[in-house]
Chains A and B, each alone.
Chain A
Amino acid sequence: MVATTENNVATAQVTKGRSPWADARRRFFRNKAAVFGLLLLVIVTLFALFGGFLAQWSNEELDYNVMGQVAELGGPSIASGHYFGTDDLGRDLFARTVQGTQISLAVGVVGALIAIVVGTLYGATAGYVGGRVDGIMMRLVDILMAIPYMFVLILLLVMYGRSITMLFVGVGLISWMDMSRIVRGQTLSLKGREYVEAARATGVSAPVIILRHIVPNLAGVIIVYATLLVPLMILTESFISFLGLGVQEPLTSLGALIAEGAGTISYGTVWQLAFPLLFFVLTLFGFFFVGDGLRDALDPKDR
């Protein structure tokens, strides 16, 4: 063995390893539903980011030509520049859908990010340290979870006014708790592994073990759960907006648009509901498909 080593050293180059991530990526792209979901997400994101450049109208402008006759004149048409029609006040629904998609995605992604950062560190610390610290940290989560969050969120929005920041704060406050529980459970099983023991035996400090050995091995679970958390956050925001407590006009979100569209559906303006709902559903489908695909791709049992 040693002899062959010496012979090969001069000629052979350093070979690149096949990392578990590369394996997972390959499996993910073999999954048709997951790729379809990813495609949906890309389209929705592009729409949210660049749709504004296609719009003929801004989201605040009123089209006085259609005002009062929205059902007759405000329908979707290329000619008038209202690709998705107008809302009840004559505002361009295309521009408003772009804007609403932006807000909804932002709420979802920010909520999930807070969950990832706070939930992972909190859960991994509780799980790794264990014992009394774990008990106290997880009981705190239990207590927070026992509080009906929707009630708290509504109170927050009523007391401090409706604003996007408040919405982010509210969503962030609730999103990390489930994550921390999942991460803690996984950490408990990881910390008994021999490679963690090897790191402990060689004197690596606890924070470094958590960041270097525990978290990377949790990444699969975290990513999967995060992709499923984003639609949940979007749904929460939509519900809040549906109740009329979400973002402030002229800003809007998909939930608020759907609420408006649902309110005016009896006047014969179906498009006011249909387009926001379409994007809402596409986004949710996209995230769920991608989340599903990631779960299959990252499942270590499949290796």
Chain B
Amino acid sequence: MSTLLSVRDLRVTFPITRAGDMPWTAPRPLRAVNGVSFDLEPGQTLGVVGESGCGKSTMARGLINMVPATGQVLWEGKTDLIPLSPRAMKPYRAQIQMIFQDPLASLNPRMTVGRIIAEPLLTHRPDLSAEDRRKRVDAMMERVGLLPQMINRYPHEFSGGQCQRIGIARALVVEPKLLICDEPVSALDVSIQAQVVDLLKELQRDLGLAMIFIAHDLSVVKNISHDVMVLYLGRVMEKAPRRTLYADPQHPYTQALLSAVPVPDPVIERAKGIIPLDGDMPSPMAPPSGCVFRTRCPRAQADCAQIVPSVQGGDHVVACLHPGPVQEAETV
């Protein structure tokens, strides 16, 4: 099978005009996503992790033309989605659906669940009769574990987990090939998180969905992804198959993130070394020279400020001048 989605050098730049700037002052660029590349095979999941504000969500929105992006997003090896007009993009929107972070906020409070789930059908399959539409909505509700007799209820009558199921049903009712999940479980209780992740895995297996799964929780990503990509300040730091990344992280940032994941065993947890990261992420309007991570990197050296590490590589991509396993001196 051919690659479903092939992304090359995706960039999203926002022009920022600060309050008090003169009208003729050129707006300063905020590079939210800065040269991200990856491939996604059908039926595979790419996990995307990183701190808040590292450009995860913006990357997802750039992929589907929700924010102006540059670069190349090749769909099924044929069509570049970036230059498409909204009209030309429409058929692809049926094939790429999205689910959102806040389950309740992503559902229109004035619409019944049935109408919410039917909306993509109404948009992309206007040929369907009302009865057919209803049948598909019913089937989809059952598929995601909702009672079809709740079809006339309103979103505020559902719990967070149920709302996310509604969001998933809405996304899958048009039978997409790619599902972009923008932190779909971050707003849910841990027990519900597991249910939703299991549901997504099950649906992926049955429907052959490809997924881009965005999260800031590495343990959730570990559960669902085939490949994992770590972003920092809009750049790829490390990308590898899940096993490789979790067993043998090479980038100090990935190592720091992994060391922060709590282990539900007090003995191991206490014995485990933590790599502390000082300070906050620098402003994406004024990123550090060279390697963007160098300001917080325990391994930073003089050359890190001069050379931008390349992100070339095969299966396991590491954007670091001094990659390698964790060193004893770095942990606390």
Contacts and interface: CB of A to CB of B under 8 A. Distances in A.
A1 B162 CA distance: 11
Interface in B121-164: 123-124, 142, 145-154, 156-157
B145 A203 contact: no
Interface string A113-137: 0000000000000000000000000
A13 B147 CA distance: 10
A5 B145 CA distance: 7
Contact of B106 (A198, A219, A300): A198
B154 A203 contact: no
Interface in B161-175: 167, 170, 174
Interface stretch (A16-24, A50-58, A152-160, A228-236): A16-24
Interface string B96-112: 01101110011111111
Interface in B60-97: 64, 66, 89-90, 93-94, 97
Contacts of B105: 193-195
B234 to A, nearest CB: 20
Contacts, number: 106
A262 interface: no
A208 B124 CA distance: 13
A149 B101 CA distance: 48
Contacts of A193: 105
A15 B106 contact: no
B41 interface: no
Contacts of A208: 123
A17 B112 contact: yes
Interface string B32-46: 000000000000000
16 contacts: A1-B195, A2-B145, A5-B142, A9-B142, A17-B157, A18-B154, A194-B100, A195-B108, A198-B170, A202-B93, A202-B97, A203-B93, A203-B94, A212-B111, A217-B108, A303-B156
Top 7 closest pairs, chain A to chain B, by CB: A203-B93, A17-B153, A194-B106, A1-B145, A216-B110, A194-B105, A195-B108
